[in-house]
Amino acid sequence: MNLIVLHETDFIRPGIVRLTGRRLEHISKVHRAEPGQHLRVGLIDGDIGLGEITDLSDQYVELRVEFTQSPPPPPPVTLILALPRPKMLKRIIQHVTALGVKRLVLINSYRVEKSYWQTPWLDEGKLLEQCLLGLEQAVDTKMPQIILRKRFKPFVEDELPELAKNSLKLVAHPVGGEACPVDLGESCTLVIGPEGGFIPYEVEKLKEIGFNSVHLGPRILRVETALPVLVSRLFPAH
């Protein structure tokens, strides 16, 4: 927790927050903080600043907070990802959030097993929880938007063209295509397939609406490794 993320409901008076539960525990046990100490705080979807501990007990901690700077600018990418297996999903959501991605669409694909869509990790509350962990890690406050689309074809045909408008359209695919560009100067819609890759039909559907297939060289990476590699390669300055 490199940032204590605050919500409007944490305020007991203007400029004063009272925290309990997980954040209290982290402040007292991990930071081993004491009254007078300053911690980095951020308001969800708002600015970042410092909080001074004014009161600390077993029940709660109070901080006087002041916000002084904007959260880091996000990389201009919309990420479209074939739904990972439940075991990976949690970590991937944290990766995505920590990398600063602000729009994620989880889609179906031939190699996504139907059962993956049943996981409780897709519940809105659980997704928000993982995003929050990513923000706390990365010192960011802006929640990503996560969109679920269970049908590949209608999404690609009816929604994706509008979603990807005015951005460079890339699909990461280990076979064929060109080397993925480095340090894009423009916004990008990036599609990443499932473990095992998209089937040729799916790659074709994406190409039909203007997506270019790009690869990362001869090594085939797991989605979990490819994701940070791709985002940092496209937007090294973010």
Which residues are at the interface with a copy of itself (CB under 8 A)? 2, 72, 94-95, 98-100, 137-140, 179, 182-183, 216-222, 224-225, 228-229, 231-233, 236-238
**Residue 154 Cβ vs a copy of itself, minimum distance, rounded to whole Å:** 30
**Residue 120 Cβ vs a copy of itself, minimum distance, rounded to whole Å:** 22
Structure token pair of residue 57: 């007990």
Q: With respect to a copy of itself, which residue has the nearer C-beta, 51 or 134?
A: 134
Q: With respect to a copy of itself, which residue has the nearer C-beta, 12 or 179?
A: 179
**Residue 157 Cβ vs a copy of itself, minimum distance, rounded to whole Å:** 31
Q: What is the 3-state secondary structure (H, E, C) of 106-165?
A: EECCCCCCHHHHHCHHHCHHHHHHHHHHHHHHHCCCCCCEEEEECCHHHHHHHHHHHHCC
Across the chain, how many H-helices and E-strands are there? Answer: 7, 13
Specify the residue for token string 């980095």: 40
Q: With respect to a copy of itself, which residue has the nearer C-beta, 39 or 164?
A: 39
CA distances from 101 to 111, 122, 139 (A): 24, 18, 13
Per the CB < 8 A criterion, the answer to whether 199 and 165 are in contact is no
**Residue 60 Cβ vs a copy of itself, minimum distance, rounded to whole Å:** 25
Q: With respect to a copy of itself, which residue has the nearer C-beta, 17 or 99?
A: 99
Cα–Cα distance measured from residue 143 to residue 129, given in angstroms and rounded to the nearest whole number: 11
**Residue 63 Cβ vs a copy of itself, minimum distance, rounded to whole Å:** 20
126 CA to centre of own chain: 13
Q: With respect to a copy of itself, which residue has the nearer C-beta, 161 or 217?
A: 217
